[in-house]
Amino acid sequence: MCCMVIGQTYNSDSIIGTTIKIGNLEVAQNDFPKEMTWIEAKKACVGLGSGWRLPTKDELNLIYQIKDKVGGFANYHSNNYYWSSTEYDYNYAWFFSFDLGSAYYDDYSEGSKFTTYYVRAVRSF
């Protein structure tokens, strides 16, 4: 077990599961069970240890291209938005829609680092 975000505890094995490899990228089998803010998402991924991190928007696009192989995205969540590590500026970061297959940044409310979205961890090897 590892301590993650705001007192929540996750079993890292249940998040990582059986990883999927794409080139030199390893993708966790499962999402974290709850949506998180961007800062919480970054901390939660690092908290898995051994180089786990939040994916970039380009990595999320790559994952989207083989989403059926990776699994767990299609119709899994109501909004299917996932955080990327790619920042737009101090207050905003890019997020990726697995419904539409595109990365977004929106300077109104969506994309604010305080908005909560789903998280899938990755690491390079």
Q: Per residue in 22-75, pLDDT tens? A: 999 999 999 999 999 999 999 999 999 999 999 999 999 999 999 888 988 755
- SS3 of residue 70 by DSSP: helix
d(CA 63, CA 52): 16
Give me the pLDDT at residue 100, please: 75
Counting Cα atoms < 13 Å in the Cβ hemisphere of 39 gives 6
Model confidence, pTM: 0.84
**Domain extent listing, the chain:** 2-124
Going by the DSSP 8-state scheme, the letter that residue 12 receives in this structure is H
pLDDT in tens, 74-114: 555 567 899 999 999 988 999 998 887 787 766 555 668 99
Among residues 65, 61, 55, 50, which one has the least CA distance to residue 32? 55
Q: Assign domain 2-124 to its CATH architecture.
A: Roll (3.10)
